[in-house]
Structure 1
Amino acid sequence: MNCCRTSPSNSWVFPTVNLCCFGFFSMMKPSEPFVVPYLAGPDKNISLGITNEIFPIWTYSYLVLLLPVFILTDYVRYKPVIILQGVSFIITWLFLVFGQGLRAMQVLEFFYGMVSATEVAYYAYIYSVVSPEHYQKVSGYCRSITLVAYTAASVLAQLLVSLASLSYFCLNIISLASVSVAFLFSLLLPMPKKSMFFHAKPSTGASPKPGGRDAFLEEPQKGHKPVCQETFTFSRNLDDGSLSTPKPENVTLRVFVQWFQDLKECYSSEQLFYWSLWWAFSTAGFNQVLNYVQILWDYKAPSQSSTIYNGAVEALATFGGALAAFTAGCVKVNWDLLGEMALAVFSAVDAGSLLLMHYTNNIWVCYAGFVIFKSSYMLLITIAAFQVAVNLSVERYALVFGINTFIALVIQTVMTVAVVDNQGLGLPVSIQFLIYGSYFSIIAGIFLMRSIYIICSAKCGKEECMSTVTGQNPSEPENSMSGMNTVTQF
């Protein structure tokens, strides 16, 4: 009998394997790189309205659903929301396979917005079923498996289209089968007994940091002012014997009050605020580019008359992004001093890539611009996530991540209404990418000015400090000169 029991040290294996299988099959969708050619082709024949009437629905539904789903996810303890995501995946691909007409595609986009909004449950679930010592390991597994699946799906799609001449309809049948398998794995997930907020258990120590951090991140950076470093105490207060058991509505109210206090304290850090600001604005632009890049490719090289390589490009861009993210974890830089300079430089690279995609008529140059853009963004978002999370508990990181994502969606919605939607300017896709390139140019300019200010302030502060020291020791000019030389070394 004892041999059938799962030991505590291995209790993380079953839920992690199940969740990774769900993540793999939910991202193993070979039809995704060819969505626009499929909609514009003979299967659906919706060449008009894709840009201005169909794709904006995803942005609007994602925005409307994100906050309610974020709250519901913790309240119902993750698994039901993961199941809801699996159901939404199936409905989305049923509409892609069998739906016809503009209205059906708009409903499809609504359910895909539901898929995006419920994604938070996939990344939060694992923290409720494994012990803190496994957070880093399982977070790495759950995040990397989705990149592997997306890359494999893109490569498979390109091979099937180019070598086997498989139709886009068949690719969608494969995708429907894959997300159906993912749904089955969601049913096998163990139901968590706790969550981070509404069903939190009392903690005996400091709240763990988010998973996925490297070992050297356990210590704050040198000279880095701790942000929100206090232990997340709300869960302990709820279960403290000195307090009477609150009513459910009081618990809910206290959760919201604690969220507000935590966010206010976190964003009071100037460094965290500016990194979060870049995160929100850049993510809005990134999502907008991803949403409409296939339409640009179809404009530069129409799929009905050209050989297209969307799958290969998506795979290469995803691999480049994963490689850039890995590189970011290995590079040792004083991000307090040079971090915002990096944001400025790579935002300028993003801007240049998008402007290149706008001005070129060569589809291969357009493909290359997208690979550079996605790799650059993935590099910076990894650094930004580390800078935001380095001194935050898992609970506070989840809150900041949720608010940053919501702000990004608000910005993206404004861009969609103003630039894409027929109720706004309704610009053609080629002009849209000129707007997006200019948008990233503004981001680069803002952070360039701020980085120059930070570097100059640091230099002036060191010079002032050294002049104070040399003023107290006038008899040692040699030492003072050597001290002045060190000021210019960052």
Structure 2
Amino acid sequence: MTEKTITTTVALLCLYGFFKDMRPAVPFLTPFLRSDLKNYTAEKVNNEIYPILSYSWMASLFLVLLIADFVRYKPVLVVGGASYVATSVLWLWGERLEVMQIAQVVYGLATATETVYFSYIYVIVEDDYYQKATGYVRCTTLLGQFLASTISQIVISFDKTDYLLLHYITLGSVSVSFLLSVFLPPSKKSLMSQKTTMSQTDLCRGHNEYKHSISRFNNFFQDLKTCYNNRKIIVWSLWWALATCGNNLEVTNVQNLWYVIEPASANGGLNNGIAEAITTLLGALVSFSVGYMKLNWSVFGELTLGVMSVAEAILLITMATTKNIWVCYGCGVLFKISYYMLITVASFQVARLLSVGRYALVFGCNNLLALTLQAAIVAVVVDKDTLNTGIRAQFLIYGGYFYMLAAVFLIKAVYTLTVEGWSDSWAKRWTD
């Protein structure tokens, strides 16, 4: 590719990501479903509509992870764009409960394609452009989310019940992203096959190993085995999956908690957009600043994960027990910022230990594990056919979940630092 072609391709991908994430309906989805426009009860929204997303997301990600490399990524993005459009249409004009549940199924498929979106960067640009292209793409998606939250807040501030306008804007934005996905250039290389280790198995595959589907499946599972043979990758991936599960549970249920603390009849949800905008903006700044931190994550990474998990547990429990919506907003912002910071560190550590192609593979598998655990927790804690837990009790459980996560990593950190020597570890706390 020429430099001009690469620039055009990255710009097109950035625009796709911007419009895909510029969905102002999302911060006010719960008030919309609870309003006179849809008129669903809290129990219907919390226990019969939202849980569907976890199941669909998990199943769709498993499917996406298997087929993305075979179809060379672009078709998955096109399907993802179309799924966002379909979700918006169902939200807007769907009336029955079953239609809202179908919307969550389609939304899960759309969300599952996010993994492919961030992997697709590496199959359309050359190695020298990886770092810049990644930065551009991530910044534009965050910009889209920030603008969506800002627009939603402005609209609701003028008319606190004008949810339809937010959904019309969302439909227009995701329709543009779908059209842009059609014009994305096709991939000419397979991400999984960019780099392989020179094991005896690899030598026996021959030069034509990726020509046939059976060879691709063999390579997929061989790469998977190779990736997780590294102990450090297992540690970071374990936190990645467990913390992402907890973050997803908070994100998908926090609007229900906000609604309980301050119902729509008392201007509830009026400031949801502010909370989302602040979260996105500060999260972007924190994630960017991580790249300049000199802490030696190989030495103090586990301890940091453990300490921050304790803080996240406290924040979730505070959200579950407070009656002040602003305290809940503030704790939610801090919770997400801490997650954004640590997932950036986890991504960097995994990327440092892996080739780019395998990074994409581990990224997908870690998220699949997170979604599998999330679906299991939802099935037990939230689903109407099991515990059918109230929203405040749910957040207490999520807080306990992070306490357990913290205990695992603090014990592991204390053991590692004791074996390595606290004084020696402290002397190596900074990188060059």
The structure with the largest helix share of the pair is 2
Equivalent of residue 39 in structure 2, options 45, 51, 64 = 45
Compare 260-269 and 106-115 and name the one that shifted more: 260-269
1:349 equivalent in structure 2: 311
Q: Per the alignment, in what secondary structure is the counterpart of residue 120 of structure 1?
A: helix
Shift of 1:121: 2.5
Shift of 1:487: 8.0
Counterparts of 2:348 and 2:227, CA distance in 1: 15
2:141 equivalent in structure 1: 146
Equivalent of residue 118 in structure 1, options 113, 120, 129 = 113
Compare 263-272 and 78-87 and name the one that shifted more: 263-272
2:80 equivalent in structure 1: 85
User: Structure 1: where are the runs of 5+ without partners?
Assistant: 1-6, 208-227, 463-485
| 1:233–1:169 CA distance, 2 compared to 1 (3 A) | farther
* CA contact 2:209–2:216 (8 Å) conserved in 1: no
Equivalent of residue 57 in structure 1, options 52, 56, 63 = 52
Counterparts of 1:418 and 1:81, CA distance in 2: 31
Equivalent of residue 255 in structure 1, options 179, 200, 216 = 216
Identity value in percent: 39
| 1:246–1:336 CA distance, 2 compared to 1 (3 A) | closer
Is residue 31 from structure 1 mapped to residue 25 from structure 2 by the alignment? Answer: yes
1:474 equivalent in structure 2: none
Is residue 277 from structure 1 mapped to residue 271 from structure 2 by the alignment? Answer: no
Counterparts of 1:375 and 1:94, CA distance in 2: 31
Is residue 69 from structure 1 mapped to residue 31 from structure 2 by the alignment? Answer: no
| 1:246–1:24 CA distance, 2 compared to 1 (3 A) | closer
Matched residue type, 1:42: D
Q: How does 1:197-212 map to 2 (within 5 A)?
A: 197=192, 200=193, 207=195
Counterparts of 2:181 and 2:383, CA distance in 1: 36
Q: Tell me which structure has the larger Cα radius of gyration.
A: 1
Compare 158-167 and 276-285 and name the one that shifted more: 158-167
In the TM superposition, what whole-angstrom CA distance separates every residue of 1:167-199 from its partner, at most 9, and x where no partner exists? Answer: 0111101111111111111111122222224xx
Shift of 1:254: 2.4
Shift of 1:373: 0.2
| 1:231–1:394 CA distance, 2 compared to 1 (3 A) | farther
Compare 69-78 and 145-154 and name the one that shifted more: 69-78
RMSD (CA atoms): 2.2
| 1:8–1:487 CA distance, 2 compared to 1 (3 A) | closer
Counterparts of 2:248 and 2:142, CA distance in 1: 17
Tell me the TM-score normalised to structure 2 length.
0.93
Counterparts of 2:286 and 2:100, CA distance in 1: 35
Compare 275-284 and 252-261 and name the one that shifted more: 252-261
Greater relative contact order (CA < 8 Å, ≥ 6 in sequence):
2
Counterparts of 1:447 and 1:333, CA distance in 2: 18
Q: How does 1:413-452 map to 2 (within 5 A)?
A: 413-452=375-414
Counterparts of 2:200 and 2:147, CA distance in 1: 43
Counterparts of 2:114 and 2:181, CA distance in 1: 13
Shift of 1:257: 2.4
Shift of 1:422: 1.3
| 1:238–1:137 CA distance, 2 compared to 1 (3 A) | farther
Shift of 1:237: 7.5
Q: How does 1:224-373 map to 2 (within 5 A)?
A: 230=197, 240=207, 245=208, 251-307=212-268, 308-373=270-335
Shift of 1:488: 6.5
Q: Which runs of 4+ in 1 moved over 6 A?
A: 231-239
1:168 equivalent in structure 2: 163
Shift of 1:268: 2.2
Counterparts of 2:366 and 2:71, CA distance in 1: 23
* CA contact 1:46–1:101 (8 Å) conserved in 2: no
| 1:489–1:252 CA distance, 2 compared to 1 (3 A) | same
In the TM superposition, what whole-angstrom CA distance separates every residue of 1:11-56 from its partner, at most 9, and x where no partner exists? Answer: 2112111111111111111111000000000110012311111111
| 1:239–1:270 CA distance, 2 compared to 1 (3 A) | closer
Matched residue type, 2:176: V
* CA contact 2:381–2:388 (8 Å) conserved in 1: yes
| 1:193–1:455 CA distance, 2 compared to 1 (3 A) | same
1:478 equivalent in structure 2: none
Counterparts of 2:385 and 2:179, CA distance in 1: 41
Q: Per the alignment, in what secondary structure is the counterpart of residue 158 of structure 1?
A: helix
User: Structure 2: where are the runs of 5+ without partners?
Assistant: none
Shift of 1:129: 1.8
| 1:8–1:348 CA distance, 2 compared to 1 (3 A) | same
Compare 260-269 and 105-114 and name the one that shifted more: 260-269
In the TM superposition, what whole-angstrom CA distance separates every residue of 1:47-96 from its partner, at most 9, and x where no partner exists? Answer: 23111111111111111121222222221111111111111011100011
